[in-house]
Amino acid sequence: MSQSTLGDDDLFGEAAAEMRADVEEHLGEARAALPDADDVWDAEADNVLGVLNGLRSSLDVEGAAEHVRQAKKWYVIGERADAFDDPEDLEEAIEELQELLEMVEDAHELVGELTNTMPQLRGALTDAAEAADDDDESEEEEEEEEEEEEE
């Protein structure tokens, strides 16, 4: 019995170590897949739409989200099996990354909305300016006609 039990315990310890390594590896991959802070802050474009499109692209974190999902999956399995000696640090790291991903995803959504809104806003402002120009021209023509009638 002791030989079999010792073997099972050794295998369980090895599996727990591999599970922890998998969680840590996925957390590292998630961090690496996050956008670079300078890519989010710095912009090179000719107009606002170009800036927004570049920002939206830099805020794409699908790869990071998938790695966090994998890390969490292996963490949950390991935690339920009581395989980790110190699971708190892994749990904290997962929570921090999830919060950061939510922030980035929220920003991505907001930028996407602005990217869709700005061309519409520009078009509406252009139409309003043209209408104002047309009104000014009409007023000038009316004033000229009134002046001609007075003479």
**Residue-wise pLDDT tens digits, 39-81:** 899 988 899 999 999 999 999 998 999 999 999 999 999 999 8
Q: Determine contact, residues 89/81, Cβ cutoff 8 Å.
A: no
What is the average per-residue pLDDT within 118-125? 94
User: What per-residue confidence (pLDDT) applies to 41?
Assistant: 92
pTM over 0.85: no
User: What per-residue confidence (pLDDT) applies to 151?
Assistant: 63
Tell me how far apart the alpha carbons of residues 106 and 87 are, in angstroms, rounded to a whole number: 29
Between the CA atoms of 36, 56, 90 and 72, what dihedral angle is there, to the nearest 10 degrees? -140
Say what percent of the chain tops pLDDT 90: 64
- Identify which of 119, 38, 102 has the alpha carbon closest to the alpha carbon of residue 68: 102
Q: List b or e across 52-78, with b for residues whose CB sees 16 or more CB atoms inside 10 angstroms.
A: bebbbebbebeebbebbebbbebbeeb
- Identify which of 86, 84, 102, 89 has the alpha carbon closest to the alpha carbon of residue 27: 89
Selection from 39-48, 110-119, 137-146 with the highest mean pLDDT: 110-119
What is the average per-residue pLDDT within 76-103? 93
User: What per-residue confidence (pLDDT) applies to 84?
Assistant: 87
User: What per-residue confidence (pLDDT) applies to 6?
Assistant: 59
pLDDT value at 144 more than 80: no
Question: Given pLDDT bands bounded at 50, 70 and 90, which one contains residue 27?
Answer: very high
